[in-house]
């Protein structure tokens, strides 16, 4: 760890230790790392004797993550003000999923995040693009606060680690990730049970929806770009919830020769769409495409939301993928 990052952790720990209250939030449309880091931070800070409240917005959570007991998270701001807001896994301020009043009532904002395009929006930014997941960063922070891991704290942190590393397969899976896994398992996280809950508790409707998306797969740019899409009607007809579309994009990225995979899903908010992007092989930085579309993310996994039509978005993605090197041989 370099000195600057070390100093940032130390400053964050000092502020949290002295805070009259800490409110923890993660990002919109929370994934395993967002929710795992959030719940892990709440339980860990409480173990350090810090008055801590976790918050989320009232939207539906992915079915596979509900067992993390999100009911313990508030969907309204606490009374009063003057708390420290701890934002985990958020690359920008706009990504923070916090009920009205939470941001306004914060005396200070601490960001703990691993996105390389983090905008440093907080008063204290602890940003480590080399960290495989935000959950590992929360673990470091808790370590500095003298918190001993318990099974209840280790479990959500392990969820963040296993989901953001693609079950220890993505390029961010390094020795530190395995060392963190060993520590969390040693502290009581149960890999097989967590695997069952995350990946083998799917609703049949999710597979039906996945089938529909896969059947529409289209390969462009001489095999380098794979795209597919789903409408709101597809989701409604399948009987699945919107989060059931998680995982579609990973299938597209697996196609031999594909460098960029894109999945466009209609969200229904005024005809809006959510675009998920993945890079295979790492030649194309898909976060640059996402930023051009108004979003952001990691070099190999990024996304944005847009009011543009599906055809418009597919043409935009194709042009961006082409100009960013998805077809340069």
Task: Please tell me whether residue 212 binds ligand AMP under the rule CB under 6 A.
Answer: no
Using CB under 6 A, which of 37, 243, 276, 279 touches ligand AMP?
Answer: 276
Stretch that binds ligand AMP, among 192-200, 264-272, 294-302, 311-319 (CB under 6 A): 294-302
Task: Please tell me whether residue 113 binds Mn ion under the rule CB under 5 A.
Answer: no
Contact 32, 160 (CB under 8 A): yes
34 binds, among Mn ion, ligand AMP, none (CB under 5 to 8 A by kind): Mn ion
Enter the tokens of residue 210: 């996945």
Contact 318, 221 (CB under 8 A): yes
Min CB(194)–ligand AMP separation in Å: 19
Q: Where are the alpha helices (DSSP H) in 126-231?
A: 134-144, 151-164, 175-186, 191-199, 204-215
Number of residues that bind ligand AMP (CB under 6 A): 15
Task: Please tell me whether residue 251 binds ligand AMP under the rule CB under 6 A.
Answer: no
Task: Please tell me whether residue 273 binds ligand AMP under the rule CB under 6 A.
Answer: no
> SS3 of 183, please?
helix
Q: How far apart are CA 91 and CA 299, in angstroms?
A: 13
Q: How far apart are CA 262 and CA 281, in angstroms?
A: 15
Min CB(305)–Mn ion separation in Å: 15
Residue written as token pair 């009532």: 105
Site for Mn ion in 76-95 (CB under 5 A): 89
Site string for ligand AMP, 106-125 (x = CB under 6 A): ---------x----------
Site for ligand AMP in 305-324 (CB under 6 A): 305
Stretch that binds ligand AMP, among 9-17, 57-65, 234-242, 303-311 (CB under 6 A): 303-311
305 binds, among Mn ion, ligand AMP, none (CB under 5 to 8 A by kind): ligand AMP
CA angle, 267 as apex, 256 and 315 as ends, to 5°?
50
Task: Please tell me whether residue 34 binds Mn ion under the rule CB under 5 A.
Answer: yes
DSSP E strands: which ranges in the chain? 22-25, 52-54, 83-88, 106-113, 124-127, 218-220, 225-230, 260-266, 273-279, 296-297, 301-306
Site for ligand AMP in 155-194 (CB under 6 A): none
Q: How far apart are CA 114 and CA 135, in angstroms?
A: 10
Contact 229, 238 (CB under 8 A): no
Contact 157, 40 (CB under 8 A): yes
Task: Please tell me whether residue 95 binds ligand AMP under the rule CB under 6 A.
Answer: yes
- Beta carbon nearer to Mn ion, 130 or 211: 130
Q: For the beta carbon of residue 32, count every other beta carbon within 10 angstroms.
A: 25
Q: 240 to each of 200, 206, 218, 237, how far by Cα in Å?
A: 16, 6, 23, 8
Min CB(150)–ligand AMP separation in Å: 27
Task: Please tell me whether residue 35 binds ligand AMP under the rule CB under 6 A.
Answer: no
Task: Please tell me whether residue 164 binds Mn ion under the rule CB under 5 A.
Answer: yes
Stretch that binds Mn ion, among 31-39, 74-82, 181-189, 243-251 (CB under 5 A): 31-39
Q: Which residues bind Mn ion (CB under 5 A)?
A: 31, 33-34, 89, 133-134, 164
Q: Which residues bind ligand AMP (CB under 6 A)?
A: 31, 91, 95, 115, 249, 276, 295-298, 301-305
């Amino acid at each position: 760890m370099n000195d600057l990052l070390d100093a940032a952790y130390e400053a964050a720990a000092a502020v949290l230790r002295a805070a009259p209250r800490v409110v923890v939030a993660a990002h919109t449309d929370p994934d395993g790392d967002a929710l795992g880091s959030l719940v892990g931070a709440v339980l860990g800070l409480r173990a350090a004797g810090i008055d801590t409240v976790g918050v989320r917005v009232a939207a539906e959570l992915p079915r596979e993550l509900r067992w993390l007991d999100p009911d313990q998270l508030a969907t309204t701001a606490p009374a009063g003000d003057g708390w420290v807001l701890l934002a985990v896994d958020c690359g920008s301020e706009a990504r923070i999923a916090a009920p009205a009043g939470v941001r306004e009532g914060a005396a200070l904002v601490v960001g703990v995040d691993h996105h390389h395009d983090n905008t440093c929006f907080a008063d204290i930014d602890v940003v480590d693009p080399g960290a495989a997941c935000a959950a590992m960063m929360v673990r470091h922070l808790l370590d500095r606060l003298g918190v001993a891991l318990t099974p209840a704290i280790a479990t959500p942190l392990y969820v963040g680690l296993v989901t953001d590393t693609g079950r220890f397969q993505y390029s961010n899976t390094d020795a530190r990730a395995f060392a963190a896994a060993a520590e969390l398992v040693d502290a009581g996280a149960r890999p097989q049970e967590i695997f069952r809950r995350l990946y083998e508790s799917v609703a049949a409707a999710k597979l039906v929806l996945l089938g529909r998306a896969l059947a529409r797969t289209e390969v462009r740019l001489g095999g380098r770009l794979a795209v597919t899409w789903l409408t709101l009607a597809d989701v409604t007809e399948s009987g699945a919830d919107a989060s059931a579309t998680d995982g579609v994009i990973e299938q597209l990225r697996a196609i031999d020769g594909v460098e960029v995979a894109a999945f466009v899903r209609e969200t229904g908010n005024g005809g809006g769409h959510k675009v998920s992007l993945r890079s295979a092989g790492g030649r194309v930085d898909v976060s640059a495409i996402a930023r051009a579309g108004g979003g952001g993310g990691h070099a190999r996994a990024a996304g944005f939301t847009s009011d543009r039509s599906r055809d418009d978005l597919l043409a935009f993605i194709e042009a961006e993928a082409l100009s960013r090197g998805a077809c340069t041989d």
